[in-house]
Amino acid sequence: MRTTTTTQTDSSRWTLFALALSAFAIGITEFIAVGVMPMLVTTFGISLSTAGLTVSLYAAGITVGAPLLTAVTTNLKRKQLLLSVMVTFIAGNALTAIAPNFAILLMGRVIAAFAHGLFMSTATVIAASVVSPMKRASAIATMFTGLTVATVTGVPIGTFIAQHATWRIAFLFIAVLGVLTLIANWQLVPATLPQPAASARGGFWRLLKEPRLLASLALTALGYGASFPVYTYISALLTKLGFDASIHVWLLLGYGIAVAIGNTLGGRWANHRPLTALSWMFAADLIVMLLMPLSLGHAASGILLIFLMGLFAFMNVPGLQLLTMQIAETKHPEDAQLASALNISAFNVGIVLGSTLGGIILNHWGLTMTALGGALFAALALLISRLLARRA
């Protein structure tokens, strides 16, 4: 029995490692646009807010692609699906790298976004299924560690490559990384991964009729989206604070380290009572966002608040994903995979809304006021989390 348990544990670790590695490659694609945005402005002669579409349209592609593609691929073997996703991911980044104009670049971003959405909805369920029930949030956090490591190392590396070569080489680098990840999935992911039950017809309608699930999806969009009015324009913000472009890589590295710490802690704290943990996370995020407009006129206080924003930016992710899955499993266990996909969409609705609101505030009131959009999102998330906790 001990040998069997040990074998299962080792298998779970390798599965989570492969998922985290894939999430790392995908995470670089999602966030590198933030680092290279000023270069896109120069190359295509567009405004900064227009360049922000590389973030918001990518998120919109995930929002649409995650639930729809999950619904039509339920019967595929999980390993076969993962490999197909990575091939799509490679194609999207290759197209982005060679794009002759901004419209084609956005097309490549959307293709990569489809791969992103389908991967995350599938990988979340797999991660939760290969560990014991009491470790599910930690397993999800492990998978999402790939995204946080991408923020710690991948985005600064991609930005460094773009600054010293071109932004096109940076996206080619990601495509090559996708090839390596494809090989890793082929070698490390077992063919006997748990197959989710096929959702019966009407799954979307069943889930969307559940008030608690709808509230959970709104909580995900608002809570996760709270950092994006600021984060979408972080490169421009660092420049405004007086930091030279050559220093941006190191500051983004520091931001990413804060994100990684927050994600790890958030997974541990959300294992047992996710709503309680989420409530204080949103409260802390709200305080940071309210202080930020006052601090962004000074380099030291500004970078401190930016790092604190990073600490809370991903801390809520494991708890938000686990909460939605728990609600779905209680009411409609056959639709758990679809609920996971809807929550991935909700994350990216938050990105779209957050980055769009940030662009509006940027155009009307200036860069330093974008944090007020984050404060609004955090306050609404805190309110919803407390209402859900009272009605639990």
Sequence-separated (6 or more) residues with CB below 8 Å from residue 241: 296, 298, 299, 302, 303
Query: What is the SS3 assignment for 197?
Result: coil
Of the candidates 257, 384, 374, the residue with the CA atom closest to the CA atom of residue 320? 384
Interior angle at CA 184, CA 179 and CA 187, nearest 5: 130
Report pLDDT for 291.
94
Nearest-angstrom CA–CA distance, 317 and 126: 16
CB 305, CB 311: distance < 8 Å = no
- Residue burial 294-311, b: 16+ Cβ < 10 Å; e: rest: ebbeeeeebbebbbbbbb
CB 151, CB 23: distance < 8 Å = no
Sequence-separated (6 or more) residues with CB below 8 Å from residue 337: 70, 74, 121, 122, 125, 196, 197, 199
The reply to whether CATH 1.20.1250.20 applies to domain 2-390 is yes
Which pTM value belongs to this model?
0.74
CA distances from 342 to 20, 115, 127, 246 (A): 20, 15, 17, 39
DSSP 8-state code for residue 150: I
Report pLDDT for 214.
92
Of the candidates 125, 161, 190, 155, the residue with the CA atom closest to the CA atom of residue 26? 155
> 10-residue block means of pLDDT along the chain (392 residues)?
49 80 87 83 88 85 83 80 92 95 94 90 74 72 77 76 89 92 82 65 77 93 93 86 84 85 84 86 95 85 91 88 84 76 86 89 90 96 93 72
